């Protein structure tokens, strides 16, 4: 048996022993402490708390906070008042409950004992803070969560510094698989580089509440980065598997070895060098980094890219309004920075024969070509048939690259596909990592869960995601499919937007309170309407003061 299960069982036994003794002191029957569910109802009753707290105790994540609240209230009814003792009791609650129950010096005061004392300001603030934490945790876990855009992969649709509200009910809220988490953190404790903010001593299976909709083509989706299960502590913003792949290519070049024929050996050597050189972090699904991309393909869709144009099931997909590619501008003089700012272009200046690249949408491109400083602007496009080793599924025979890709069918739950040593790279992460099967290859035979296999049936749906900044986006073209259990929610609302090189206070007011749509972002006039309206209402309510 896994050690964490042994520890969990010991903790549960300690809690029940403690409650057994505490119930007896509170003049209840000891046996009530060992009946699951009923013991919580009795505990609330002797603490004089409402029955509906049982609902909070049933919500994963929230129930941990509520349990600690009950422990605190229990200590209070035993006249435990010293701050140090309270902190120790909460941190080591299973043991401390036993201590309270068996130590005769602690008498149960209960029956309204604490009602005779005047509520202090500190008490009221503490209760307000606890209530706010519980309420915010419920909202954040099951309804809406705030995210900030950290990278330019979705520019100019979503900008670095946009603060999003992400709807979790749109695609069904996930039940937290890791309930033992510090509130309001994701995977790392504040003020630390890589100290986990969660414990894996107790994990729940994947479960999702009913959804009000489903993912559709062109939805802007937030999801857990599929390759984020392993992270290099020193380079947490980079893909571990991408770094290993690059290292493999370096080894092949340095040692003059064939990266395709010796792929497995080279990958193993690359992993060893990376693992020895850096510190690795292993994260569960819920604690992987959050990414935001546009859903290009839903389960069952056939994805193909021809000369940068995406095709879905043979038909050209509707391109996002602010779709961007990288271009190289050529000219004989430097472009003034004010001209680049006017055109909303962030890029290095160019001199003589062209320097650097610029990420441009159609509007930026048209404005740039009109400048006298520019002779020509050439797109950075990968030609058809040119293989890029970085592109998923990393099969040289396919000759795919970022601008010419596919056809590739997005896996759908219940659908079976042929698997062999040739096409296994398309599905090996799905079979082994996302759907938790054992996978090996013996000669020309694929072996799944110890049984030779020629086909595989998908256990969940998958999605194909791409950024609108097509030449500066780490997306499904490079790491493959997004499993359904990695989906977090739908980006729906920008409540704040801040950027660099802006006048004080650095806020993009035109984006505040704007909605994220499938074809772009709505123009925001909400703020400019609300400010005068609020001032008008305030002035009306205070008109007598001004008259006097």
**In this predicted model, what pLDDT tens digit does every residue of 457-476 receive, in sequence order?**
999 999 999 999 999 999 99
Q: The domain 321-379 is classified under which CATH number: 3.30.1400, 3.30.70, 2.10.260, 1.10.357? A: 3.30.70
- CA separation (Å) from 67 to 59, 60, 63, 276, 385? 11, 11, 6, 41, 60
Answer yes or no: is pLDDT of 19 > 50.
yes
Please give the pLDDT value at position 409: 97
**What are phi and psi for residue 399, nearest 5 degrees?**
60, 45
Which of 55-64, 159-168, 478-487 has the largest mean confidence? Answer: 478-487
What number is the average pLDDT over the span 414-428?
93
Read off the tokens for 296: 């290009």
User: 487: left (phi > 0), else alpha (psi -120 to 50), else beta?
Assistant: beta
If one compares 4 and 151, the residue with the highest pLDDT of the two is 151
Cα separation of 541 and 548, whole Å?
14
Instruction: Summarize the confidence of residues 510-529 as an average pLDDT.
Output: 72
Q: Write down the mean pLDDT value for the chain.
A: 87
- Distance between CA atoms of residues 392 and 237, nearest Å: 19
Q: Is 450 exposed, middle or buried (0-12, 13-18, 19+ CB in 10 A)?
A: exposed
Helix axes 121-142, 62-77, angle to 10 degrees: 160
CA nearest neighbour of 200 among 290, 283, 289: 283
Burial class (CB in 10 A: 0-12, 13-18, 19+), 463: buried
Q: Which of 109-123, 323-337, 353-367 has the lowest mean pLDDT?
A: 109-123
Over residues 363-381, mean pLDDT: 90
- Residues 219-231 have pLDDT tens digits of 999 999 999 999 9
pLDDT-derived band of residue 428, with 50, 70 and 90 as boundaries? very high
Rounded Cα gap, residues 186 and 281, in angstroms: 14
Distance CA 357, CA 490 (A): 31
More confident residue, 251 or 80: 251
Global pTM value: 0.85
Please report the pLDDT score of residue 547 as a whole number: 44
What pLDDT is attached to residue 349?
58
- As a whole number of angstroms, the distance between CA 251 and CA 186 comes to 35
Bigger pLDDT: 132 vs 419:
419
Unique residue bearing structure tokens 């035109």: 510
Residue 376 DSSP code: E
Q: Is 133 exposed, middle or buried (0-12, 13-18, 19+ CB in 10 A)?
A: middle
Question: What's the pLDDT score for residue 119?
Answer: 58
Q: What is the share, in percent, of the chain residues with pLDDT greater than 90? A: 48
Could you tell me the two tokens for 54?
């049982």
State the pLDDT at residue 319. Answer: 93
Per-residue pLDDT tens digits for 34-56: 998 899 999 999 988 888 889 88
By the 10 Å C-beta count (0-12 exposed, 13-18 middle, 19+ buried), 305 is classed as buried
- Alpha-carbon Rg for the chain, nearest whole angstrom, is 29
For the stretch 263-322, pLDDT in tens is 889 999 999 999 999 999 999 999 999 999 999 999 999 999 999 999 999 999 999 988
pLDDT score of 548:
43
- Which stretch of DSSP H or E encloses residue 7? helix 3-25
Q: 113-117, 363-367, 413-417: which range is least confident on average?
A: 113-117
Q: For residue 9, what pLDDT band results from cuts at 50, 70 and 90? A: confident
Q: Which sequence spans correspond to the domains of the chain?
A: 3-141, 321-379, 416-457
The enclosing H or E element of 70 equals: helix 62-77
Lowest mean pLDDT segment, chosen from 240-249, 344-353, 461-470: 344-353
pLDDT confidence of 355, banded at 50, 70, 90?
Answer: low
Residue 546 pLDDT class (50, 70, 90 cuts): very low
Residue with tokens 């604690």: 287
Q: Please determine, for residue 398, whether its predicted confidence score (pLDDT) is greater than 70.
A: yes
Rounded to whole angstroms, what are the CA distances from 508 to 36, 150, 157, 204, 534? 53, 16, 14, 41, 21
CB neighbours of 27 closer than 8 A, spacing ≥ 6?
A: 108
Q: What are the DSSP calls for 471-515, one per residue?
A: TS---HHHH-PEEGGGEEEEEEEEEEEB-TT-STT-B-TTTTTEE
Q: Rounded distance, CA 293 to CA 127, Å? A: 40
| Percentage of the chain lying above the pLDDT 70 cut | 89
Q: How far is CA 169 from CA 181, 288, 414, 522, in A?
A: 21, 20, 24, 21
Q: pLDDT digits over 94-124, tens only?
A: 999 999 999 888 888 875 555 555 556 766 6
For residue 352, pLDDT beyond 60: no
């Amino acid at each position: 048996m896994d050690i964490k299960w042994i520890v969990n069982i010991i903790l549960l036994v300690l809690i029940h022993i403690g409650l057994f003794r505490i119930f007896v002191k509170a003049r209840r029957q000891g046996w009530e402490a060992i009946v699951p569910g009923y013991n919580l109802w009795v505990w609330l009753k002797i603490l004089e708390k409402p029955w509906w707290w049982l609902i909070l105790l049933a919500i994963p994540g929230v129930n941990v906070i509520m349990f600690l609240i009950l422990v605190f209230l229990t200590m209070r009814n035993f006249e435990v008042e010293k701050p140090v003792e309270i902190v120790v009791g909460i941190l080591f609650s299973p043991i401390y409950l036993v201590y309270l129950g068996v130590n005769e010096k602690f008498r149960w005061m209960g029956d309204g004992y604490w009602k005779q004392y005047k509520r202090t300001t500190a008490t009221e603030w503490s209760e307000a803070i606890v209530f706010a934490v519980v309420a915010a945790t419920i909202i954040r876990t099951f309804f809406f969560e705030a995210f900030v855009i950290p990278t330019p992969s979705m520019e100019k649709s979503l900008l670095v510094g946009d603060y999003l509200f992400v709807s979790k009910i749109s695609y069904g809220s996930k039940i937290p698989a890791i309930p033992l988490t510090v509130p309001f953190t994701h995977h790392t404790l504040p003020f630390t580089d890589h100290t986990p903010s969660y414990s894996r001593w107790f994990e729940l299976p994947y479960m999702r509440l009913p959804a009000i909709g489903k993912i559709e083509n062109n939805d802007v989706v937030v999801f857990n980065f599929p390759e984020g299960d392993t992270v290099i502590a020193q380079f947490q913003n980079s893909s571990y598997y991408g770094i290993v792949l690059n290292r493999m290519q370096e080894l092949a070049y340095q040692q003059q070895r064939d990266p395709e024929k010796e792929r497995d050996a080279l990958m193993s050597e690359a992993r060893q060098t990376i693992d020895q050189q850096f510190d690795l972090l292993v994260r569960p699904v819920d604690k992987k980094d959050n990414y935001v991309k546009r859903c290009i393909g839903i389960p069952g869709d056939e994805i193909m890219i021809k000369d940068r144009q995406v095709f879905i099931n043979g038909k050209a997909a509707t391109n996002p309004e602010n779709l961007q590619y990288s271009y190289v501008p050529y000219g004989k003089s430097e472009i003034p920075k004010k001209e680049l700012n006017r055109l909303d272009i962030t890029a290095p200046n160019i001199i003589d024969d062209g320097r650097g690249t610029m990420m441009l949408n159609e509007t930026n491109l048209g404005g740039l070509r009109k400048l006298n400083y520019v002779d020509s602007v050439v797109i950075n496009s990968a030609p058809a048939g040119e293989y890029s080793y970085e592109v998923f599924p990393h099969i040289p025979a396919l000759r795919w690259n970022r601008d010419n890709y596919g056809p590739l069918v997005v896996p759908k739950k219940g659908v079976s596909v042929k698997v062999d040593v040739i096409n296994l790279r398309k599905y090996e992460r799905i079979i082994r990592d996302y759907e938790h099967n054992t996978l090996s290859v013996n000669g020309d035979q694929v072996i799944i869960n110890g049984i030779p296999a020629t086909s595989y049936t998908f256990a969940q749906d998958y999605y194909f995601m791409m950024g609108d900044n097509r030449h500066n986006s780490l997306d499904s073209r490079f790491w493959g499919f997004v499993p359904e259990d990695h989906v977090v929610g739908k980006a729906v609302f920008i409540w704040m937007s801040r950027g660099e090189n802006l006048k004080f206070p650095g806020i993009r007011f035109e984006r505040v309170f704007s909605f994220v749509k499938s074809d772009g972002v709505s123009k925001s006039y909400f703020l400019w309407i609300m400010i005068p309206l609020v001032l008008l209402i305030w002035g009306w309510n205070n008109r007598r003061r001004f008259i006097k």
